[in-house]
Each structure stands twice: as C-alpha cells, then as structure tokens.
Amino acid sequence: MSDPRLEQQLRSSLARQASADDPRSPDFGDIVTRARGIRRQRNRRVGTALAAAAVVAVVVPTAVVLGSRQGSHPPTPAVTPSTTPAPSPSSPSSPSSPSSSGAAPGGPAYSSLTAIPAGPTTTLTYLDQNGVLHTGGGTTRLPGKGTVLSFAVYHGGWLVIDDPSTLRQYDGQGKLLTQGADGSLAVSADQMQTAFQTGTTVTAGISTGMGNGETTWHVPAGTSLLGYLKSQPVVSDGTSLWTLTGSGGTTKLALPSMAPVALSDADGLVGGVTGTPAQSNQQGAVVDGSTGRMLWQNGWQPDRFSSDGRYVAAHPVEDNGDPARYAILDAHTGEVVATTPKLGGKLHLGLSVAWDGDTVVFNAFDSTDGGQVLLSLDTSGSLRRVSPIERSTNPAGGDTFRFAQQP
C-alpha cells in the first residue's frame, strides 16, 4: 500500500520541477512511475509467497509447517570456498536445462546486430555514445563535459561521475554545486534514496529532492560505495563490506572470503567471486548478507540483481574483459533461467548492465563496423534489440552506453 504523504510530496516536487521548465532537469515523472512499478513488483512477489504459504497451511499439519520454517535456513559458519566449496547448481558450460538456457544449438545464432530481432525500445534511462540522454521517451543532455562513467538524479538535479572518477553535483538548471575526487554512487531498491561519495565522505538523501534531509558518514580509507543492503548504503574495499547505519555509524559485515561485486537491497544478498586467478579456482557466489551463509557457488559471476532480488544477471566467471555471454540466474539458488545465444562474427557484449522488470538489458557492439546497440534478454531466453543501432567513432572501444545508476 502506498503512503499518501509520500505521494503528495512527490506531486509537489513534480509541480515545482514542471514550473521550472528546464530541458536539463531530470524527468521525475518517469522516475516516480518506475519506483511505483518496482514497489508493485515486490508486493506481487510477497503476495504470491503468502498465498503459497496459505495453501501449505491448509494441506500440511501445523507442526510440520512450523518445523520446516524454523529449520529452512539454519545459520552456518562462513564458508571458505578453497576448502569447503558449496554445491554448484549450474555452470556456464552446463546450464540447468537446454530448454531454459536460451542458447542456440549447433553454432552461433547471430553474426550481425541487424540479424537480432528488434523489440520495443527500452524505457530505461541511458546515455548514448554521443552524450545524448534518453529518458521517459525523450532526449536531453547531462550538464558538464567529459566522458561520463555513471550518473543519477538527486535533489532536483544530477550527480555525474566523469573520467577519472570526479563526482559533480548539478542543480536542475545545470549549475555546478559541488565536486570531489574518487566519486561513487548507489541507489536503493525503490530508487527513492541515493547515496554518493567523494574521498572518505558518504552522503545520502531522497533522490527526487522532496526535502533536504541528508545523512553523512566518514568511511574507512580505500572504500567506495557498492550499493544498498536492507535500505542502508554499503561500502567495500574489495574484500570486506561496511553497512552505513542511520545514526551515521558503520558496521562491518561478517562474510565468507570473497570479492563482493553486487548487492540486493530487497533481499539482503551479496554477490561476488571466490577463489583466486592464480589457483584457477574462481567461482561466482551469492551470500546471505544477514547471516554470512553461502547460498550457492558456480561458474557464473553475479553482475547485478533485479530490483526485487529474485534474479541476478551474470557472466562466465572465467571471462576476462568483454563477457562471452550473459545469463539470468535465480538469485537464491544459482539455477540458470536463461542465457544469451552464442554470437558469431565480431559481435561482443559490453559491461553496461541494467534491469527493466524481469528483463536484463546490456550493451553489444560489432568490432568490424563500430555498430553499437542495447539488447534485452528475458526469462524465456528471447534476445531483442531495444535501441537504434549507432556507429561508433572508435570501433575498438565498444562499450560506450551508460545506464542511470540502478540498485
């Protein structure tokens, strides 16, 4: 159920932005619509789980239900993958079932970008290689200059990180407010909270600007924002995680030995890589961030969780550089739901990954002619082009699309 006070604040904020009528201002209507969609998606998932539980309660004795519930996820000691690896439900070379893998048997499915079927244009906010920002069905430009690494809306304006990791904050009219080195960004699962960092200072507040309340933390040197976990910003130094508490403090999380790379705010999951390249024993893994319990390990490296925490986008852990494939995995079991078909010719997948509901969207490029496009993969394994094909001025550069910061 939505909060009427929140809805009223959103309407007031939108009205103020509409009166400004500045083309550089963020499209808050699109942001609020997407946030509502995320909440509905999460509520449907909770409702389905409750309905299933109700059915179980009817057909199973109460004592059995309670016993199963209490023992379903017992806390276990942190797992050290090199000594006690967890079972591997799936791997890139052996998906859970051929029918769900999305792979085309007998060779490459596509050898050119134009051969990939076209689908509806994505509604996600993204920046193309020419610096044009696509959002809410229209286009505009981000303030500032330089190569953009990441960006997000904040307090009626923009947070933009450009090369080399300089974070700049702009108001709705494009005026530079603040800037700092070593910048990083994170947004909450419903995209209503945004955190940003420069140096060892992290600040978090309401994304849409309907209020000026902010919280500030001083974090350990060498750490940067990785995402949100259970509604709190989290920083990482590449091997450890610290949750930033509401009081402005920090709490170190107890996790197995792994390099964390992705977080699920909705379900409190941590995705990362175990092992070391020198020992050729690396695996992708997902851990319960609350208990430190290893949920699964296999040959897929988690890249980004869906907003409701049900799925995670992943690529083969042994890939160096551009991913050979992307897959949609069940975030809690590691089971492969769908994978991209093999790509032939000089087609490559990029590193920009985002979720649009239960569909994962990512960059692809053709190194022969510099073609660039966004592709989508859904849970049925369907691959589609969801943006116009553009020609890069630097064919070898490839991955030039950038999505607005996601959870």
* pLDDT tens digits along 189-216: 988 899 999 999 999 999 886 556 789 9
- Higher confidence at residue 174 or residue 80? 174
Asked whether residue 239 carries a pLDDT value surpassing 90, the answer given is yes
- Higher confidence at residue 53 or residue 181? 181
- Higher confidence at residue 260 or residue 70? 260
- Cα–Cα–Cα angle for 214, 220, 222, nearest 5°? 110
pTM, two decimals, is 0.75
Rounded to whole angstroms, the Cα distance separating 11 from 29 reads: 9
Rounded to whole angstroms, the Cα distance separating 359 from 376 reads: 6
Asked whether residue 14 carries a pLDDT value surpassing 70, the answer given is no
Residue range 83-92: mean pLDDT, rounded: 41
User: If you search the block for the tokens 């209503």, which residue do you land on?
Assistant: 192
Domain locations along the chain: 1-72+131-253, 94-118+271-407
Dihedral pair phi/psi, residue 258, rounded to 5°: -165, 160
What DSSP line would sit under 130-199, residue for residue? TSEEEETTEEEE-SS-S-EEEEEEETTEEEEEETTTEEEEE-TT--EEEEESS-EEEE-TTS-EEEEEET
The residues with which 13 forms a beta bridge, in sequence order, are none
Q: For residues 202 and 183, is the Cβ–Cβ distance under 8 A?
A: no
Pairing between strand 371-377 and 383-385?
Answer: antiparallel
What rounded mean pLDDT belongs to the chain?
78
User: If you search the block for the tokens 């085309």, which residue do you land on?
Assistant: 104
Q: For residues 271 and 281, is the Cβ–Cβ distance under 8 A?
A: no
Query: Is 331 buried (19+), middle (13-18) or exposed (0-12) by CB count in 10 A?
Result: buried
- What pLDDT does residue 353 have? 96
- What pLDDT does residue 115 have? 94
Rounded to whole angstroms, the Cα distance separating 359 from 121 reads: 13
- What pLDDT does residue 129 have? 81
- What pLDDT does residue 137 have? 81
Asked whether residue 253 carries a pLDDT value surpassing 60, the answer given is yes
